[in-house]
Structure 1
Amino acid sequence: MKLLLLLLAFSLPPRTKAGEIIGGHEARPHSRPYMACLEITDGDKILRCGGCLIREDFVLTALEKKAKRTKAVRPLNLPRRKVYVNPGDVCSVAGWGRLAPGGELSNTLQEVELEIQKDQECECLLKDNYNKTNQICAGDPKIKRASYRGDSGGPLVCKKAAAGIVSFGRSNGSAPRVFTRVSSFLSWIKKTMKRS
């Protein structure tokens, strides 16, 4: 079965780099049945992007491509309209991206827990590239744990729902990182799914 992927890259500011898990660990096999890995070959270059299944025929990601469903795949819930994550909440992110700046892409699914930060943390570090209306700031700057290149498009899972989508952060891979706030686009996502 082919899956339609939703494009959510519009909240990604120019000149930002998205992507990989830093300071995490290998995920237990089949523990995240909603995860999708998209691999695009461009000449010698392999680009990798994550995503999450939110319905049997829809993958939420930062790229628009087609994916193949398998028996080991189950959807992840969308957040409720008025349920928000708060500073101090602990969420998780997973992906097949790089394990360190300049490192190789992972062959196994990696996961890491990140603490939601106050919006001011990302506003201070990223200046005009952060918008608290449609973005979430996650990852303690004192702890070396983060999403990074290759994880872009994967879900930030909070309260058993896709609260965010891996977007961007500073090029050195340090926390905090920025995630697209799924609840800000819920109406659009649901309308798009109804049309297909």
Structure 2
Amino acid sequence: MQPLLLLLALLLPLGAGTEEIIGGHEAKPHSRPYMAFVQFLDKDKKRRCGGVLVHKYFVLTAAHCRGSSISVVLGAHNIKKQEMTQQDIPVRKAIPHPDYNPKNYSNDIMLLKLEREAKQTAAVRPLRLPTGKTRGDSGGPLVCNNVVQGIFSYGKGDGNPPGVFMKVSHFLPWVKRTMKRL
């Protein structure tokens, strides 16, 4: 779990009090091939979130991670360096949950339809969705037994608990229906 937390902390926005890691260690390169780095413009300011590749054409993230010029980087170990394993893919369409409420972050979940399919490699591989029955960054996954169980929505700015996750299985009908339509 610690490598995942470190990776998620590295994806938090600048100024979120996460510029240094205390008690963490670097994750094994590409040990989380489903992780996505989501970049977008919000009022002409660059923003970033985490996400999880759930299908060759779809990334699941938080609905508040929406803006213009959205793109996704897959297969990155260090986002600050260009790596041969990285795939930079523009987003064709952002689909926030229809009941998303930005005032209280309810239903804070969104699908990103990629412009082209993600090429599966050792560094890029989708994570399974649950069957239907912490701390991290916005849009980042909570993973149990190699299945995405939650998408991080929000938490305290100082990094202390609690952190709020959207339970993915609750949104499965919407996720599957939306992915099938597109």
TM-score by length of 2: 0.54
Greater relative contact order (CA < 8 Å, ≥ 6 in sequence): 1
Between the aligned partners of 1:73 and 1:52, the Cα distance in structure 2 is 10
Q: Does 1:76 align with 2:127?
A: yes
Match of 2:140 in 1: 154
Amino acid at match of 2:173: S
Q: Deviation string for 1:34-84 (max 9, x for gaps)?
A: 1110123568843111111101111001235343235431100101111xx
Q: How many residues align?
A: 114
Between the aligned partners of 2:60 and 2:71, the Cα distance in structure 1 is 11
Superposition RMSD on alpha carbons, in Å? 2.7
SS in 2 for 1:50: strand
Match of 1:167 in 2: 153
Match of 1:47 in 2: 47
TM-score by length of 1: 0.51
Q: Does 1:38 align with 2:32?
A: no
Between the aligned partners of 1:186 and 1:25, the Cα distance in structure 2 is 33
Amino acid at match of 1:51: G
| Pairwise CA distance, 1:30 | 1.0
Where in structure 1 are there 5+ consecutive unaligned residues? 1-17, 83-137, 139-145
Between the aligned partners of 1:159 and 1:28, the Cα distance in structure 2 is 18
Tell whether the 8 Å contact from 2:53 to 2:126 is kept in structure 1 after alignment: yes
Alignment of 1:15-30 (within 5 A): 23=22, 24-30=24-30
SS in 2 for 1:191: helix
| Pairwise CA distance, 1:176 | 2.2
| Pairwise CA distance, 1:26 | 2.0
Match of 2:172 in 1: 186
Alignment of 1:83-162 (within 5 A): 138=134, 146-147=135-136, 151-162=137-148
Match of 1:176 in 2: 162
Tell whether the 8 Å contact from 2:156 to 2:163 is kept in structure 1 after alignment: yes
